[in-house]
Amino acid sequence: MTAEYQVHGAVAVITLNNPPVNGMGLETRTAAVKGIQRALADDAVKAIVITGAGKAFSGGADIKEFNTPKALTEPSLHTLIATAESATKPVVAAIHSVCMGGGLELSLGCHYRVAMPGAQIALPEVKLGLLPGAGGTQRLPRVLGLEPALNMIVSGTPVPSEQLPALFDEIYAADVDLLQSAVAFAEKIADVRPLPKVRERKVDYPNHEAFLQFSRNTVKAMAGPFPAPLECVETVAASVTMKFEDGLKFERERFLHLIQTTESKALRHAFFAERMASKVPDVPADTPVRTIQRAAIVGAGTMGGGIAMNFLNAGIPVTLLETRQEALDKGIATIRKNYENTVKKGKLTAEKLEQRMGLLNSTLAYEDIAGADIVVEAVFEDMGVKEAVFRKLDEVMKPGAILATNTSTLDVDQIAAFTGRPQDVIGTHFFSPANVMKLLEIVRGSQTGKDVLATALALSRKLKKTGVVSGVCDGFIGNRMIEQYSRQAGFLLEEGALPEQVDKAAEKFGFAMGPFRMGDLAGNDIGWAIRKRRYVEKPEISYSRTADLLCEMGRYGQKTGAGWYDYKPGDRTAYPNAQVNAMIVQHSADLGIGRRKISDKEIVERLVYALVNEGALILEEGVALRASDIDMVYLTGYGFPLYRGGPMFYADTVGLPNVLAAIHQYARGHHGEAWQPAPLLVKLAEANLGFNSK
Ligand code: 3HC
Ligand code: NAI
């Protein structure tokens, strides 16, 4: 059932019922229109109430239906709204919990609106790269006024119902029964005529042109590559400058334009990708989870401190364990300093700071953490050190405690084997700075228990992270792919590019930071240490030696004030350095390479397709469950541009045959051996499919 019909006395009640959020798909729209027609045909019915079952009035149009034939099948949302608005009996929207997008637009077409307090009211279409396409841009300004409506539409931010008195005829107390009250309201106004219609109101805003021009300028400056925010301004402007019907037509036209844009497709992909990431086929949603009420962190360094903050922010008490008191003191001082900075920025109160610090304990003794429900190890990246820690954890931790490791490169299965309880061991790979970055790679060992995985996924939500499951492999999803990207960045230097050109090209493509600025931020010595290990363990893998030469110059990055670029104290601006550039040119000469001019297009293709090709291998091996998980890793952990949807989605938009052709071409060039097309990529390209094809 997608909308139920019931009669309460003289009032017909239509309840949208399309779980989880009553998205208005074709079946729901059809049932709602039929419900209104049935009520109009029944002489005993004097008024109609529309409400929503479960946890929402309505989350809006059914996004899953976009770009499918159903979206274009009548009755459209417009038809449903027009049916409500033109009804000869009063229609009342009874709103609770969530009323968004098309849901709010439907309520604006109703003659009256009543609501529970605390309902989230929004036109969030802009967050999906769209604008409200079912009259929202024309009706909301007629109810709220130009400025508040524009703010809501351009930001997409939900506003609690009680803060929008102009929108509602009645807002009830929290303990009131909504349906009963709405029916009573409908009975009260049943005979009032004429029926009030939002479309008949006017938007009054003296000197609206000046305001609209100001809005255009502000929004343009903030929108970056996204076209939707400015389109929102233009359509809202039409509510003042055009007749209602013309404004509606204009809105429709711009909506249909936006829905086809890559930016909107990318945002919708990211919306679903984020939600899909928490789904693991063999770990159903009802898998029991373990209770997490107390946490412990081993190692109070860069990562341990940041990880602790995540738990503290979520109200979970944390005990930090270290080998030395000084390390503990330093870790705790850093946590406090981070919170103090947040207080200075006005984003946290001093009282909350103390509350959070009050949840933090520290110790040098394992016995003090034995009762924790989860322990996250964040000690040095050395298997010997990890072994000692995990053997000790196995000895002291209470049965059922989750033993998590934050390792970025080591084998989680090997770590699990140091314990007698490998089912309790899992990788929780936080990204630096751990209190800021959204990504949490959850590394599933070969013996990790399903309940442990389900608990880690639930925990990631509690910590406000995007949890993405990865299998065990060197570098997991994110770092394994970035290695190929970094290799290409190095080869580009050997062939003729300089760091600044590579970074600028990557940043123009939309990366938050190019590879060399990123190296300087993370510390070039980290990659150096990894390569030194690889030179011994995997001599068959080729790397450019420029990064090694840079480290030999002592230029580790921002922390040493010098890396690929120079840095001034307290300033993260990267200034090109002549000696570094001379070193790069000399290195090409030493290799006998005649440097050539490399186009920005080639730079971007080589960086991004290196990610894509490795991503395809990861997918094929089952290390990632789905292409969209890889995209989430890159969108939330590596600054990949959101409007391009992640590397795998981006490759789909380019077309896999084109990606493959470029890879074949680069395979004939410098260090062509680095380009072995992934079999999955070849297979999909030959079938003209994409990674995300259903
Ligand atoms: N259509 C289809 N499915 C939707 C949906 C929608 N509009 N909104 C949410 N869902 C689905 C999610 O995909 C998820 O599905 P899953 O359980 O299978 O993974 C499920 O509902 C629950 O979503 P959340 O995990 O996000 O649940 P929350 O309770 O945290 O949040 C919400 C609920 C506030 C409604 C949030 O999902 C949300 O913000 N949704 C998007 C709302 C939106 O953008 N609406 C505008 C749609 S476009 C439109 O209306 C066009 C019109 O102007 C013409
Ligand atoms: P760090 O060197 O800043 O901190 C490590 C801390 O562990 C130190 O304070 C040290 O005193 C403590 N320690 C060492 N041995 C210990 C033991 N036996 N018992 C208790 N404490 C011990 O290191 P960082 O950067 O925090 O890294 C920690 C882990 O996180 C490593 O596995 C690393 O690979 C991983 N990681 C690091 C990231 C980064 O960007 N720094 C990102 C993601 C993961």
Run of H or E residues at 139:
helix 136-144
**pLDDT tens digit string along 177-231?**
999 999 999 999 999 999 999 999 999 899 999 999 999 999 999 999 999 999 9
Instruction: Using DSSP, state whether 54 is helix, strand or coil.
Output: coil
Residue 1 has pLDDT above 70, yes or no: no
Global pTM? Answer: 0.95
Q: Which atom of ligand 2 is nearest to the CA of 331?
A: 9
The catalytic residue among 125, 234, 322, 441 is 125
| pLDDT at 391 (0 to 100) | 98
Neighbours of 608 (CB within 10 A): 24
Residue whose Cα lies nearest atom 44 of ligand 2: it is: 408
Residue 248: DSSP 8-state: H
d(CA 565, CA 563): 5
Please work out whether the CB of residue 47 comes within 6 Å of at least one atom of ligand 1: no
Q: Which residues have CB under 6 Å of ligand 2?
A: 298-304, 321-323, 327, 378-381, 385, 388-389, 406-408, 430-432
Average pLDDT over residues 626-641: 98
Q: Which two tokens stand for residue 137?
A: 């841009």
Closest ligand relative to 387 C-alpha: 2
Closest ligand relative to 125 C-alpha: 1
CA of 211 to the centre of ligand 2 (A): 53
d(CA 379, CA 363): 15
Residue 694 has pLDDT above 80, yes or no: no
Helical spans, DSSP H, in 242-301: 244-259, 262-276
Burial class for 614, CB neighbours closer than 10 Å (0-12, 13-18, 19+): buried
Residue 646 has pLDDT above 80, yes or no: yes
Residue 306 has pLDDT above 80, yes or no: yes
Choose the residue to mutate in 21, 107, 232, 257 for probing ligand 1, maximizing ligand atoms within 8 Å of C-beta.
21
d(CA 143, CA 140): 5
The 10 Å CB-count burial string (b at 16+, else e) for 308-317 is: bbbbbbbebe
> For residues 42 and 54, is the Cβ–Cβ distance under 8 A?
no
Neighbours of 176 (CB within 10 A): 14
Nearest to 657 by CA among 631, 689, 626, 627: 689
**pLDDT tens digit string along 469-519?**
999 999 999 999 999 999 999 999 999 999 999 999 999 999 999 999 999
CA of 53 to the centre of ligand 1 (A): 15
The catalytic residue among 105, 274, 322, 377 is 105
**pLDDT tens digit string along 543-576?**
999 999 999 999 999 989 999 999 999 899 999 9
Q: Which domains does the chain have, with CATH numbers?
A: 3-259 (3.90.226.10), 295-470 (3.40.50.720), 478-686 (1.10.1040.50)
